[in-house]
Amino acid sequence: MVFAGVAGDVDPCHRDAHTSHVDLALKHDPRAPIWAEGADLAVARRVLEQEAAGLAMLGRALEATAFGRAVGLLAGASGRVVVSGMGKSGHVARKVAATLASTGTPALFVHPAEASHGDLGMIVPGDAVLALSNSGETPELADLVAHARRFGLPLVAVTGRAESALARAADQALLLPPAPEACPLGLAPTTSTTMQLALGDALAVALLTRRGFGAADFRAFHPGGRLGARLSRVRDLMHAGAEMPLAPPDTRMDAALVAMTAKRFGCLGVVENGKLVGIITDGDLRRALDPGGGAVPRADLLALSAAAVMTRAPCTIGPDALAAEALHAMERRSITALFVVDGAGAPVGILHIHDLLRAGVA
């Protein structure tokens, strides 16, 4: 097969007469066409605007009854949602399957061509099928669709043609509007695949919302990376037991300072009747030394009780709160440590901002 314009396909004796634009550009020949400065950005903006227009068309064209029925069919599956598509639609289908799986809807991608050679065995009663094909006539999907029909599996189609074979075979078809492709040739799947992907996200989020899938559930499926760290619980990161800097209200400040220094959290929790009633920080010490513009002698400060210096009703957090919530509380109040208390107000741990940094929360 010969590709026009590729070096080597022109008679060497006539190469000068047939020099391609690529050859000229590589040689920096002045005859080479000059790509106008800013043209790349103009193309990028046109593509983004055209695809955004396609998404807007999709939003307007989406029917409540059709979309609701599609979500119901997928939500009603006792097994998994099997997502499939060929070519560019197949790449989108892989991502849709991954999004579904990570948001509480068990899902997997099955390649339609491989399905015809044994992978149909992966699709079993109780599953639902989500098939993507812009034309709706993708031949590789035929066996998978026939398998779904044979075993009575719910079939949802995402296609651009209402009269296509796929749309007619489906229990519910979600139709893509006839938005032009962003490719200037109108051939490469661009706007259509963007709409497929967005519609897949819409289905996943609708299913997530219908199931009441929350942050705790999300954490179970995303234990790794920064996202997993932000979704970890305070109890997973806090210091407990003897590591907590605690003292009763009548503790003299000289002993309180020793306890603060030993525990290295920069604070001391004051506990009365098993409950956290106050906290002493560096700021409390400075205020005690200069309560109204007149410095208090150091000896007098050391003789004071912890109750006389502490800040009452300190900011606390529960052990089941998310680490991200703890970080937000620290940032909002410009503090570096939080005592962790149970439902009765008893201290069960302490969390320092360094713990959050080490865990990758911040």
Q: Could you read off the pLDDT tens digit of each residue along the chain, which spans 362 residues?
A: 333 443 334 344 444 444 444 444 444 455 555 567 788 899 999 999 999 999 999 999 999 999 999 999 999 999 999 999 999 999 999 999 999 998 889 999 999 999 989 899 999 999 999 999 999 999 999 999 999 999 999 999 999 999 999 999 999 999 999 999 998 888 899 999 999 999 999 999 999 998 887 766 666 666 666 666 667 889 999 999 999 999 999 999 999 999 999 988 999 999 999 999 999 998 888 888 776 655 556 657 888 899 999 999 999 999 999 888 999 999 999 999 999 999 999 999 999 999 888 888 86
Interatomic CA distance for residues 119 and 190, integer angstroms: 29
Interatomic CA distance for residues 220 and 208, integer angstroms: 14
pTM over 0.75: no
Q: Which residues of 307-330 are buried (b: 16+ CB within 10 A; e: fewer)?
A: bebbeeebebbebebbbbbbbebb
What order of strands is seen across the sheet that includes strand 316-317?
A: 316-317, 337-341, 347-352
Choose one of 151, 181, 213: the last residue of a domain: 213
What is the chain's length?
A: 362
pLDDT at 221: 65
Quick one: tokens of 276?
A: 């956290």
Q: Note whether 182 and 83 are same-domain residues.
A: yes
> Do the domain assignments include residue 99?
yes
| Full domain range(s) for residue 105 | 39-213
Q: Note whether 60 and 172 are same-domain residues.
A: yes
Q: What's the farthest any 2 CA atoms get from each other in the chain?
A: 103
> Do the domain assignments include residue 113?
yes
Q: Note whether 123 and 185 are same-domain residues.
A: yes
> Do the domain assignments include residue 180?
yes
Interatomic CA distance for residues 106 and 82, integer angstroms: 9
Interatomic CA distance for residues 180 and 195, integer angstroms: 11
Looking at the structure of the chain, the number of domains it has is 3
> Do the domain assignments include residue 218?
no
Helix extents (H) in 77-187: 88-102, 112-115, 142-150, 165-169
HSE-up (13 A, CA, CB side) for residue 347: 32
pLDDT at 56: 96
List beta partners, residue 219. none
What order of strands is seen across the sheet that includes strand 275-281?
A: 246-247, 267-272, 275-281, 311-312
> Do the domain assignments include residue 209?
yes
> Do the domain assignments include residue 190?
yes
